[in-house]
Structure 1
Amino acid sequence: MITHIVLFKLKDGIERSAPSVAEAEKFARAVGDHVPELVDWRVGWNTVDRDISYDFAAIGVLPDRAALEKYQVNAYHQESVQKWRAISDWVVVDLADS
């Protein structure tokens, strides 16, 4: 199993209440419905405000590396990526269960 974790930080000047943020969130929430390789999909806003905190997270579980590669090129996922790219910076980590 691979746990795919993405942490998003809204760009300076982008407010959570912006329509572009609402659109990106809507797409992120629906990724799990559009990527059949995902075993589990969770997204949400950070609930604790700290200087080092990111704003939004997406966590997906996939059965293997091949599924991760299909997820990465999935058209709906790529559309979601474009929406987040316009409003945020992010970091990604992919954890392989041992």
Structure 2
Amino acid sequence: MAIRHIVLFQLAATDEATREEHAAEAKRRLEALVGVVPDLLDLTVSRNVAYEGSNFDIVLESHFPDVAALEAYQVHPAHVETASFIGTIRSGRAAIDFEV
């Protein structure tokens, strides 16, 4: 069974221009991990389009062949660098990992 890794981010910025800039940069950095992190099968990043203020702002959906690959992704230097950046622009995070 493959693993689906879903992460939701709430952006910290309060002005719309900064929020859009941060969302675009997070998307760019996350999508750049495809082809860099071994066993990252695919990854998509989307921006919330409804219920601003009550929904999370960004969703990351990625797939791995197994939990070991997900764990390797978590410590891969490219992911660590990207996660560090996202840590500076977010105020909240939620995640779930499940078999598909």
Q: TM-score, normalised by structure 2?
A: 0.83
The percentage of counterpart residues that share the same residue type is: 33
Query: Could you tell me how far apart the structure 2 residues matched to 1:9 and 1:33 are?
Result: 26
Cα RMSD for the two superposed structures: 1.8
2:3 maps to which residue?
2
Are residues 1:92 and 2:74 paired? no
Deviation of 1:11 after TM superposition, in Å, equals: 1.2
Shift of residue 22, structure 1, vs aligned partner: 3.8
Alignment correspondent of 1:11: 12
Distance 1:53 1:32 in 2: 26
Gaps of 5+ in 2: none
Q: Distance in 2 between matches of 1:21 and 1:42?
A: 13
**Residue of structure 2 equivalent to 1:33:** 35
Moved over 4 A (4+): none
Letter paired with 2:39: E
58-67 vs 20-29, which moves further: 20-29
Q: Which amino acid aligns with 1:73?
A: V
After superposition, the C-alpha distances for 1:13-36 in whole angstroms (9 at most, x for unaligned) are 363234x55433321121223212
State the Cα deviation string for residues 32-72 of structure 1 (Å, max 9, x = none).
23212111211111122344311011111101011011111
Which position in structure 2 is the counterpart of 1:60? 62
Aligned length: 96
Partners of 1:3 and 1:82 in 2: CA distance: 22
Matched AA of 2:19:
R
Unaligned runs of 5+ residues in structure 1 are none
- How far did 1:12 drift? 4.6
